Structures are given as C-alpha cells and as structure tokens.
Amino acid sequence: MRLRSALSGRGGFAVPLAVLIVIALAFLTALMLDAAVAEFRSGEAWLSESRAAALAETASAEALAARLDTAVLLVSAGTVVLRRVQTGVDSVAASVQVLGPGLARLTVFAAIGMGRLRAIAGRQIFVAMIPSPGAPGEVELRPLAGPGWVAIP
C-alpha cells in the first residue's frame, strides 16, 4: 500500500514531452510552409518580369520594322511621330521621338498583369532614320551601333 501511494504522487514526463515535441513539429511545419510560399511568390514575380521583358523586346522589334512616311525627316527635334498603345491585361506603349536630322529615339514600355502581380519592362533604342531604298516615300528605322539598345529598369 505504501508503494502505490508513493508512485501515485510522482508526475510523469512522457505526456509533457510529447506535447512539447508536437508543438515543435507544428512550428517547424509552419516555417517550412512559409518558406515554400515565399519561394513560389518570388518565382511568380520572376516569371512576370521575364514575360514583360520578352514583350518589350517583341514590341521593340515590331517598332523597328515599322515604316514611316518621309515627312518625318522634316519635323523639328523633340516631336513624337509614332505612338502606339495597346490596352488590356498586357499593354504596350511605343513612341518615336525625333532628336535631330535623321536621328530618333524609340521608347517602348510593356506591362504584364499576372494575378495580383504587375511587371513593367522598357527599352530605349537610338535609331537612324534612313529613306527606304525599296519603297519610295518611306523611312526605315535602323538601330545605331554601340550601346543604343538600353533596357529601362
């Protein structure tokens, strides 16, 4: 009888240890899920930024392929001669600004919407305006050599 009464007064350590281990595992699981969500969001942001950059490159190539009227060679410096804007989830704005005789600046901005993210990329290209040999009355845009193709952050 004495032995039983002595054992019943002792507290065990197995149940408190099990509770502590369950709490620690729950905390570690929450940390791992938080890290996984952060990695997913950064990957989603990287994807939207790369899509915006690709759209800006495509719009730049299309703007360089556009042919303008030869009257553009006669406008004064600072005049914007071409401006295109497409709206929607993905939008592009392109403009050609005359800088001087035969010289212009092509600026393209592209915006991509992916869910709750919005990424914007841009390109600035200094171009020479050259009369088209194959099509009279039209002007071609040719990029200048050197660092004339600049990404706009």
76 vs 148 pLDDT, higher one: 76
43 vs 107 pLDDT, higher one: 107
Least confident stretch, 2-6, 53-57, 107-111 = 2-6
Question: Given a cut of 60, is residue 117 above it in pLDDT?
Answer: yes
Residue with tokens 């930024």: 49
The H-assigned helical ranges of 1-153 are 2-8, 14-65
How is residue 8 written in tokens? 């019943």
What's the rounded mean pLDDT across residues 29-54?
A: 86
> b/e per residue, 74-103, with b = 16+ CB within 10 A?
eeeeeeebbeeeeeeeeebbbbbebeeeee
5 vs 70 pLDDT, higher one: 70
What mean pLDDT value characterizes the chain? 81
149 vs 5 pLDDT, higher one: 149
What tens digit of pLDDT does each residue of 69-90 get? 777 777 788 888 777 777 677 8
Distance of CA 87 to the CA centre of its chain: 17
Question: Given a cut of 90, is residue 29 above it in pLDDT?
Answer: yes
For the chain, the domains span 34-152
